[in-house]
Amino acid sequence: MEKRVDDARGRLTKDGIRIYDSADFAGMHAAGRVAADILDKMAAHVFPGQTTGEIDRIITDLVNEAGVISATIGYKGYQHASCISVNHVVCHGIPGPKQLKDGDILNIDVTVIVDGWFGDSSRMYVAGKLGRKAERLIQVTHDALMKGIEVVRPGKTFGDIGHAIQAYVEAHRMSVVRDFCGHGLGRVFHAAPNVLHYGRPGTGAVLEEGMFFTIEPMVNLGRPETKTLADDWTAVTRDKSLSAQFEHSIGVTKDGCEIFTLSPAGRFHPTYDAD
Ligand code: MF3
Ligand code: CO
Ligand code: CO
């Protein structure tokens, strides 16, 4: 008997990128909404004195209450329902007992699996009062993600997306991290292509309707280089400069794209502007 592999739906392009059906968009919207809902709820739990471990515990509870699965617990040995990256941590910060201080900025990244579909999103938060430089960094990073998303439509290339992000960030005298990228997703967490947040127009694979992927630029106030700490996860800026990141999961449509991880409460935009 032939066993149907769970992610073997649609077809693959010559670049190995899976093309999903129009019916699959509903599954991604459901998964993206759960991730976005959890991120919406976290704004109230970020304050000076709070620990990142406690934030992750709350996220774990919300994942369980929603009756869905955390994609990160058990992923390559990772043991938490979120990555929480504070100040000069670029990504993959491990939640722990360290208390947030007034003015700390942090990215919370949550990925859930809902009926087999992956929803992956991250946003920035601030503990207490936001400093001027951090505010600028967060705004530019958010807007860079949106510049990348604006490019997305069939016929454009992944290089077009990367170029739009890089040009915007560098025009603001900040730098794009090269060591990490976005990724295809759908019935799997990380699939082709690598979605680079820098690049040249017209290069890379051509976008087609039915592609699902993340865009998740990491932007540094200083230089782009990173290093990974001895825990094998935590990536930090080499020059200790502040870093920010925003991530959406999206799907390419006939004439643009749909964002799966939009904030139901309108809080995706930097939280200091939300309420
Ligand atoms: N959510 C991250 C991403 O955007 C991946 C986290 S993997 C983990 O791709 F194991 F560190 F959680
Ligand atoms: Co991702
Ligand atoms: Co993520």
Delimit the domains of the chain by residue range. 11-259
Test site for ligand 1: of 76, 92, 181, 212, most ligand atoms within 8 A of the Cβ? 92
- What is the per-residue pLDDT for 273? 53
- What is the per-residue pLDDT for 3? 45
- What is the per-residue pLDDT for 7? 59
| Ligand 1 atom closest to residue 83's alpha carbon, by position in its atom list | 12
| Ligand 1 atom closest to residue 189's alpha carbon, by position in its atom list | 9
- What is the per-residue pLDDT for 9? 76
CA of 120 to the centre of ligand 3 (A): 5
Condensed to tens digits (0 to 9), the pLDDT of residues 61-89 reads 999 999 999 999 999 999 999 999 999 99
CA of 22 to the centre of ligand 1 (A): 26
pTM (predicted TM-score): 0.96
- Residue 211, ligand 1, Cβ within 6 A: no
Cis bond leading into 97, ω under 30°? Answer: no
- What is the per-residue pLDDT for 1? 44
**Spatial distance between the Cα atoms of 156 and 162, rounded to a whole number of angstroms:** 11
Spell out, as residue ranges, where the chain has pLDDT lower than 70. 1-8, 270-275
Name which of 108, 115, 211, 219 is nearest 171 in CA terms: 219
| Ligand 1 atom closest to residue 76's alpha carbon, by position in its atom list | 10
- Residue 111, ligand 1, Cβ within 6 A: yes
- What is the per-residue pLDDT for 271? 56
| Ligand 1 atom closest to residue 247's alpha carbon, by position in its atom list | 4
Name which of 77, 81, 88 is nearest 55 in CA terms: 81
What is the amino acid identity at position 129? K
CA atoms 17, 18, 23, 29: torsion sign: negative
Nearest CA to ligand 1 atom 8: 72
- Cβ atoms < 10 Å from Cβ of 34: 22
Sheet with 175-176, side-by-side order of all strands: 175-176, 218-220, 243-245
Test site for ligand 1: of 60, 69, 75, most ligand atoms within 8 A of the Cβ? 75
CA of 104 to the centre of ligand 1 (A): 21
Which CATH homologous superfamily contains domain 11-259?
Answer: Creatinase/methionine aminopeptidase superfamily (3.90.230.10)
- Residue 56, ligand 1, Cβ within 6 A: no
- Residue 267, ligand 1, Cβ within 6 A: no
- What is the per-residue pLDDT for 272? 54
